[in-house]
Structure 1
Amino acid sequence: MSETAGELSNAPADPDGHYTLAPSRRAGSADCLNCGTALAGPFCHYCGQPDRRIMRFFPVLLREFLEDFVDFDSRFTRTVKPLLLRPGRLTRDFLEGRRYRYTPPLRLYLFSSILFFLVATALSFVPIQITTNGDDDPVAAIEDNAVVMAEGMAGNITPDAPDPPDEFPNLQFNDRPWDPETNPVAIPLLPQRLNDWINEEIGESPRKARDIADDPRAFVGEVMDLLPGTMFVLLPVFALILKFWYLFARRYYVEHLVLSLHNHAFLFVVMSMVLLLDTISDALGSGAWGSHAASVLGAVMFCWMPVYLLMSLKTVYRQSWPMTLLKGLLVWVTYTVLASTVSLFIALLGFLMF
């Protein structure tokens, strides 16, 4: 090994011990293997490639991959506490320039969302009980729910009494019986091709209802496939809501977006924990002390979510508590209406695509 490489491998780490490439992970090259520039540290100052050893034991590489993704050994561990217990602290530090000590907002959001949807998907495979409000026909009950979802989209579809499962449900559209040819569903602002597809899928609803009754988890899986992308699309929309209600706060849109990323990451992590605690409580049984403890902890975490979100607004925007409470309420109402509408759309789309 050359003298330069030897000096590189023994180069002191940064004062904090986390902001450079660990000596054990370096290749010890004298020149950058990508562009040939002489190295004076663990990273090439010309092209940015790290002088990292790749040919290593696979479990070590897997651990290092996780470190690179969430900075598990350093930044991630420093991020968890303020993420869960100090509302708005991550956003405020990021906006004030203290960024490298924490996991980047987008990376944190992606990791927490993946965690949540993995947990939710895994728990969705628990056997599902279909309640029919006293009706012994689960197919009719599912058809009724599908009709209610369609009503939210079309605005004027009304269900009559459910028919037997082998017949098509008696749907009303524009105060007349639905018919794909003479009286089809026509949702305003949608192209004709999409309306035709919706009517075709409505015609398949009795079969889909029976399939869902036979295997409800398949329908849940269809909806879960649509949720991650939908939540990601809602991120910039939530930032726009913050921008609107804090229009005179003299904040750039990206500042609202960073807060949106942090708060959604917090919600994903806490909801994952609540789902796990609820599952543990059910598994232990209602009489066990562990079940009671899990239920109480889950309830506390659930109640912490709205308090956290409100306090995050106070920390980041630094307005008075009366103004924060007012704007927090306005933000909550706006986002709830939006999220409810999107959830209804996702449920309907999941049924149509099933």
Structure 2
Amino acid sequence: MKLIASGLMGEFDAAGELVMGGMLGRAVEPHAGERHGHGHGHGQATICLNCATALIGPHCHKCGQSGHVHRSLGAIGHELLHGVAHFEGKMWRTLPLLAWRPGDLTRRYIAGERARFVSPMAMFLFSIFTMFAIFQILGISTPTDLDSAMAKPAAAIQQSIKKQEESRDKNVARLAKLAADDADRAELQRDIAKANREIASLKTAAAQIGHGTDKEQEFTAHTGWHTLDHGIEKWQKNPALMLYKLQSSIYKFSWLLIPLSLPFVWLLFFWKRQYKLYDHAVFVTYSIAAMSLLFIGITLLHAVHVSSGVLGSLAMFVPPVHMCRQLKQAYQLRWWSAILRTGVMLWFITIIATLFLLILALLGIMG
């Protein structure tokens, strides 16, 4: 029952993440150019109920609020679904371009087509929240059964010795209960002798590495920075908890990938003054969102038992191809130039990922 309850709670939490992702995405989505259908419960107002401006159409020309306001439980459900499904038809206009013509989407958004598409940050929030919700639903998480002591050679050997001794003692107790002419006595005596040999061998190995490993186990960091020393000790004592915290940090601080990536994308075009940091930020944010959606797709395909070879090929080839197409279309490059920059960017990505993980590790240690 506890397992069932835990599973249900995990699914409810994941559903909550999906809803939160949609609503947060909606919160940062610009409203310019959007129009909603007629509400229920109130008729058309003559003045704006938000800013008291006289209405000359279905929407206030000053603040943009609709003259129709909702006041029903059904309207609350509509708003919730509206947030999760994400921005009426904007998602369905954005997703095909993000998948196949990401550079066109990037360029058109930068050029001013804002109301037509889901904004980069809204798409980023939606994809990140959805990805981690899918991971939670499918039970993909850091291992929780790690034992820091088992990671040490001497401790692992001592654990093996303990298990062998327990097994031998059970066989000795069984042997004592058997009659002198019982046919099972010979087999039990062989098992006991074998266990004794293994125990002796393990004790010899423990004696050879014991001193060095004990020092390793008793290691205490002395960097002179109390917070850092304390964090290192926490990693040693409970690595499973720290890995869980690292996973949570990836989820919470995924936005750091955007500012970390900006200088590297700028380096690819620093001599082209027509491209500003804003342009690079739109490029990076849409690209990260696309990769998150790709990982969602791969995860779901794995859940329905699609071949690992197919999934590995998708994970290996789709990201560089997608990045190359986005670079070519967004910055209007020739193919050879886009391919060259893609190769450099893939190298940059390893640096960005390393910096990101180092920052998260430091946050975990110091937290």
- TM-score, normalised relative to structure 2: 0.65
- Structure 1 match to 2:168: none
Matching residue within 211, 216, 224 for 1:169: 216
Matching residue within 353, 356, 364 for 1:339: 353
Of 318-327 and 246-255, more deviation after overlay is shown by 318-327
Corresponding letter in the other structure for 1:323: S
1:112 and 2:166 matched? no
- Taking the TM superposition and a 5 Å limit, the aligned residue runs for 1:124-143 are 124=139, 128=143, 138-140=150-152
- Structure 2 match to 1:278: 302
Contact 1:43–1:51 under 8 Å retained in 2: yes
Corresponding letter in the other structure for 1:56: S
Matching residue within 67, 87, 92 for 2:102: 87
Secondary structure of the 1:82 match is helix
- TM-score, normalised relative to structure 1: 0.67
Contact 1:76–1:103 under 8 Å retained in 2: yes
Contact 1:39–1:45 under 8 Å retained in 2: yes
Percent of aligned positions with the same letter in both sequences?
22
Aligned-pair CA distance for 1:113: 1.2
Contact 1:20–1:42 under 8 Å retained in 2: no
- Taking the TM superposition and a 5 Å limit, the aligned residue runs for 1:50-89 are 50-58=66-74, 60-68=75-83, 71-89=86-104
Matching residue within 266, 273, 284 for 2:290: 266
Aligned-pair CA distance for 1:334: 1.8
The runs of 5 or more residues in structure 1 that have no matched partner are: 1-17, 144-160, 172-177, 187-194, 213-217, 282-290
| 1:23-75, Cα deviation, whole Å (9 max, x unpaired) | 246751111112322112232122333334232224x4233344257644311
Secondary structure of the 1:169 match is helix
Matching residue within 49, 52, 56 for 1:36: 52
Secondary structure of the 1:54 match is coil
- Structure 2 match to 1:152: none
- Structure 1 match to 2:229: 199
Corresponding letter in the other structure for 2:113: R
Contact 2:220–2:233 under 8 Å retained in 1: no
- Structure 2 match to 1:11: none
| 1:313-335, Cα deviation, whole Å (9 max, x unpaired) | 01111122222222222222123
Distance 1:139 1:163 in 2: 14
Aligned-pair CA distance for 1:179: 4.7
| Structure with a larger share of its residues in helix | 2
1:45 and 2:61 matched? yes
- Structure 2 match to 1:22: 37
Matched residue pairs, number? Answer: 280
Distance 2:142 2:357 in 1: 23
1:185 and 2:200 matched? no
Distance 2:210 2:360 in 1: 26
CA RMSD of aligned residues (A): 3.5
Distance 1:268 1:107 in 2: 13
The answer to which structure, 1 or 2, has the higher relative contact order (CA under 8 A, 6+ apart) is 2
Distance 2:316 2:66 in 1: 43
Contact 1:140–1:163 under 8 Å retained in 2: no
